[in-house]
Structure 1
Amino acid sequence: MTAVIADRIESAARAIDVARNLAAEFALGAAARDRDRELPYAQVDRLAASGLLAITVPAAFGGADLPPTVVAEVVRIIATADPNIAQIPHSHFVYLNLLRLAGDPAQQARYFGAVLDGARIANAQSERGGVTVADIATTVRPEGERLRIDGAKYYCTGSLFADLLAVLTRLDDPNAESGLAPGEYVVYLPADTPGVRIVDDWNGIGQRTTGSGTIIFDGVLVEPDQLVARNAAVRAPTGYGAYAQLLHAAIDAGIARGALTAATDFVRQYSRPWFEADVERAVDDPLLIQRFGELAVTVTAAEATLSAAGLAVDAAVEGGGTRSAAALPVDVTTDRSDAVAHASLTVATAKILADRAANEVSAALFEVAGTRSAAADLNLHHFWRNARTHTLHDPVRWKYQHIGRALLHDAPPPQHGVF
């Protein structure tokens, strides 16, 4: 377990203040870390020690129980400085939410307590080789009185920095020896468990320091109480997918704001005006002023929509406590279904606008800043590479589909982990 001693954050105002202070620290050297692929171990330690990683722990277990709006704003603020660091705890918050929705009280006490003490959770979810990303080949099956995990996971963001791995598995138990219901389970697994091999092989063009490598599971033995059934959170009106997507949109909105700030600073300090503008400073070029106005509107629209989406997710999960949707009265579940559908569609809109803003503004940085900005040593292209890489997570073209179907057919959005 991590040796970090974490502070306790008790309010939204304090969380935002801490995030802003950390962002100012993380911005220093962010371009150089990206350029040299210097993994941010010290920065992630600072993040864990700050207490920000525990802000969603329910009050019943000693946490601040802060809502999705605050978490999204924390992530967005950090992403303006270094989107790599902002993405690292994405899965941490998602799998804390899974515990809140589907874990039993003993599991919640154990893992929420660990996070309050500074522990970090990373995902081991995605696989290669299936027909789609939803196909899960990694199995958990009975082995005596325990269970055994075998398989391989890829794009395991944050795994190099993690204390716990949230491993998505498929139960392989044809003789029902385990006593568990068929389905998908997330196993909460200490990263140093025998049989776990974390490989630092992530080579994406962007988000280069997120620790998103491969994990091999070879005969990893676990206890039954490390397993959490996923369906209670994912296949019910809980807002699980909307919450996860909200944080992805926050990363993209943060990249857009960071790129716009970098472009503004560069033009103010270094850019020369085009001679036809007949001005002495680039900042007085009317065409540049126009373009910066357009880019500012794009970024502000993405941020405003992100805020609206956060409020919708807050409303969808409000009052859920630590209960799954299956444990709620029928009338409450029905009401929540409407709120969750609204949240999912609002987050989809935010994701579209944040995707657009991140890619457009990070590319326009060079358009407005001029030739000098393309110097390789400046590494200003890390904004575009980060935007282009992170926005590949799930295609926004399907967001348009679900929004359109809801409008024309009154069709509710799907209930799964990416919507």
Structure 2
Amino acid sequence: MTSYQDFWAQQPQAHTTAHIIRSDAEALAIARQLSQEFKQLAVERDQERRLPFEEIQKFSQSGLWAITVPKQYGGAEVSSWTVAQIVALFSGVDGSIGQIPQNHFYALEVLRNTGTEQQKQQLYREVLQGARFGNALAEFKTRNAAQKHSQIQTVEGGYLIQGEKFYCTGSLFAHRIPTLVKDAQEREFLAFVPRHSEGLELIDDWSGFGQRTTGSGTVKFNQVFVAKDDVIPFDSAFTQPTLVGPFAQLIHASIEVGIARAAFEETLQRVKQARPWIDAGVDYASQDPLTLYELGQVAVDVKASELLLKQAAYAVDTAKPKPTVDNVAHASIQVAKVRAHSTDIALLASSKLIELAGSRGSQRNDGLDLYWRNARVHTLHDAARWKYYFIGNYALNHILPPRRGTL
């Protein structure tokens, strides 16, 4: 099994030139073809916990990791709806692969809002050439998720970073690892740390029972130097109305919608192979009235999530030209709706798959549990119950939702 050290030892220091996608239609066509290729060994990768280095290399080289780069910098700048559809496609075939680029797109959205012109030109250029950004945002050892202990200190020519992060999805596959840090004045910054930086330690210690190959382990920063031009403001992306939060959550919802849809489609195939319940009085499980009832409920919920996802993506795109307090709040609520619903339906659809497939659906070789395990772990990212609270408070009391990436 290839380790991340072995993989990176074989990679050139410079990024190889990736394909450049020019339109939404081209992006979707490439995603459909590539996602089907990745589907072939998804169960094996999960069961063996084989990290998808080759797949992620193909993914980024296809140009799909650069689709949000603005047109003025040479990118396709596809719609949020196109991004959502692509993430859902890959998440349906492999939830881990679908989640890996989430923080890459998130970092690019922060860059779009708070980076300087020089920073945008440099980092967008790298992404167009095939560079991948990971993430080192969350911390495991703080009292709550809002606390951050990782620090940045000014030195000659740049900064030094000291700290430790966990849940660092995609870090093992990344050319740069954007990390969230605070300075002495408690201001937050996002530092785009090159993966070969001295003092940077990546640990492959993610042990979640789902999303097993996302590379979401530990990243340690031991006095890691980062150049001044590789650090951008982070807190200002939330003190003013921006779409950083809604866009990030839209991608998370896409992951769950993709898992739910794929689980439902798999259920349709498995029911055709299952035996009917003894009391149904029919020859085939596909004629069982109670099975059909269950399928009907899931079908409605999956479609509802897909429509909510589309509605949310349109709200994000509508606000994008000129974000305001009101249209960003509206987009946030629309995203919260699909995020809450996709949590529920991803868990339901993946559970019903095993139930309606019958006893044979529990066989490990078939890997039907993969959908539920991926859904259960990903839906822990942030609580659906709080989404419903913010939606209700907005609808009844006109209280604007919080402006952050966890709504």
Q: State the TM-score, normalized to the length of structure 2.
A: 0.95
Q: Which residue of 277, 292, 304 corresponds with 1:301?
A: 304
Give the drift of 1:3.
Answer: 4.3
Give the drift of 1:376.
Answer: 1.6
Aligned to 2:389: 401
Aligned to 1:354: 342
Give the drift of 1:8.
Answer: 1.1
Q: What amino acid is the match of 1:197?
A: E
Q: What amino acid is the match of 2:293?
A: Q
1:231 lines up with 2:235 in the alignment: yes
Aligned to 2:152: 140
1:211 lines up with 2:215 in the alignment: yes
Contact 2:136 2:168 in 1 (8 A): yes
> Where does structure 2 lack aligned partners over 5 or more consecutive residues?
1-12
Aligned to 2:283: 280
The structure-2 alpha-carbon separation of the partners of 1:372 and 1:349, relative to structure 1 and needing over 3 Å to count, comes to same
Q: What amino acid is the match of 2:23?
A: S
**Post-superposition CA distance 1:115-154 (Å, at most 9, x none):** 0000000110000222211111000102334311011000
**Post-superposition CA distance 1:172-199 (Å, at most 9, x none):** 36xxxxxxxx500000111111110100
Q: What amino acid is the match of 1:42?
A: E
Aligned to 2:333: 345
SS at match of 1:9: coil
Aligned to 2:355: 367
- How is 1:67-78 mapped onto 2 (pairs within 5 angstroms)? 67-78=79-90
Distance 1:358 1:306 in 2: 13
**Post-superposition CA distance 1:384-405 (Å, at most 9, x none):** 0000000000111111111111
Contact 1:4 1:48 in 2 (8 A): no
Aligned to 2:378: 390
SS at match of 1:124: coil
Aligned to 1:325: none
Q: What amino acid is the match of 2:346?
A: A
Aligned to 2:316: 313
| Seq. identity, % | 39
- How is 1:57-136 mapped onto 2 (pairs within 5 angstroms)? 57-136=69-148
Distance 1:239 1:147 in 2: 28
Distance 1:222 1:33 in 2: 34
Q: What amino acid is the match of 1:58?
A: P
Greater relative contact order (Cα 8 A, min sep 6): structure 1 or 2? 1
- How is 1:241-280 mapped onto 2 (pairs within 5 angstroms)? 241-268=245-272, 270-280=273-283
Give the drift of 1:52.
Answer: 0.6
The structure-2 alpha-carbon separation of the partners of 1:35 and 1:4, relative to structure 1 and needing over 3 Å to count, comes to farther
Contact 2:15 2:126 in 1 (8 A): no
Q: Which residue of 157, 175, 191 corresponds with 1:163?
A: 175
Q: What amino acid is the match of 2:284?
A: R
Distance 2:154 2:239 in 1: 25
Distance 2:405 2:282 in 1: 53
Aligned-residue RMSD, C-alpha: 1.3
How many residues are matched?
A: 395
Give the drift of 1:248.
Answer: 0.3
Contact 1:2 1:119 in 2 (8 A): no
Contact 2:355 2:361 in 1 (8 A): no
Aligned to 1:15: 27
Once the two structures are overlaid, the 10-residue window that deviates more, 365-374 or 164-173, is: 164-173
SS at match of 1:152: strand
> Where does structure 1 lack aligned partners over 5 or more consecutive residues?
174-181, 321-332
Give the drift of 1:5.
Answer: 3.1
Aligned to 1:187: 191
Aligned to 1:196: 200
Distance 1:46 1:234 in 2: 34
SS at match of 2:135: strand
